[in-house]
Structure 1
Amino acid sequence: MMFFKGNHHEEENRFVVKSFQRIPDYGRITVFVDTETGVHYIHTWMGQSGGLTPLLDENGEVVVEKPE
């Protein structure tokens, strides 16, 4: 499985929350960062539905924050 390395009981924070925002009358938006690849993902949630997609910059390119 690609998300487990070594001891399966060790907690790894591969995905971390970069930002979180509630939008009145819409729902909430969370930006996650994959700590291994640096790719940012945006998760939207409204009521009982949601979606996840890579976050794009002003040029339509995937936002990538290189891991340190």
Structure 2
Amino acid sequence: MSKSERFEKVYSQGALNTTEIWVDRETGVNYVFHASGNAGGLTPLLNRDGKPVISPILNSSPKSSV
């Protein structure tokens, strides 16, 4: 992954109906992406208080967990 890539996929499930979680590496904000067929949508992931989920920003090399 090059340094110019801003988003990192940290979670993925499904094949035809996919759900993924992406993290903005500059702000730490988590986003949920869901796709079904030719349609898809992206939205910030919110906690129970309605505030965005924010991950710690790490300046190390990315994990290859997905």
Global fold match (TM > 0.5): yes
1:59 Cα shift?
1.7
Task: Give unmatched runs, 5+ long, in structure 1.
Answer: 1-9
1:66 counterpart residue number: 56
- Give 1:28's aligned amino acid: T
Q: 1:13 aligns with which of 1, 5, 13?
A: 5
Runs of 5+ unmatched residues, structure 2: 59-66
Give the 5 Å matches for 1:13-52: 13-22=5-14, 27-52=17-42
Where 1:45 maps in the other structure, the secondary structure is: strand
TM-score by length of 2: 0.75
Q: Secondary structure at the match of 1:20?
A: strand
% identity of equivalent residues: 35
Runs of 4+ in 1 over 4 A off after TM superposition: none
Aligned pairs, how many?
57
Superposition deviation, residue 11 in structure 1: 5.0
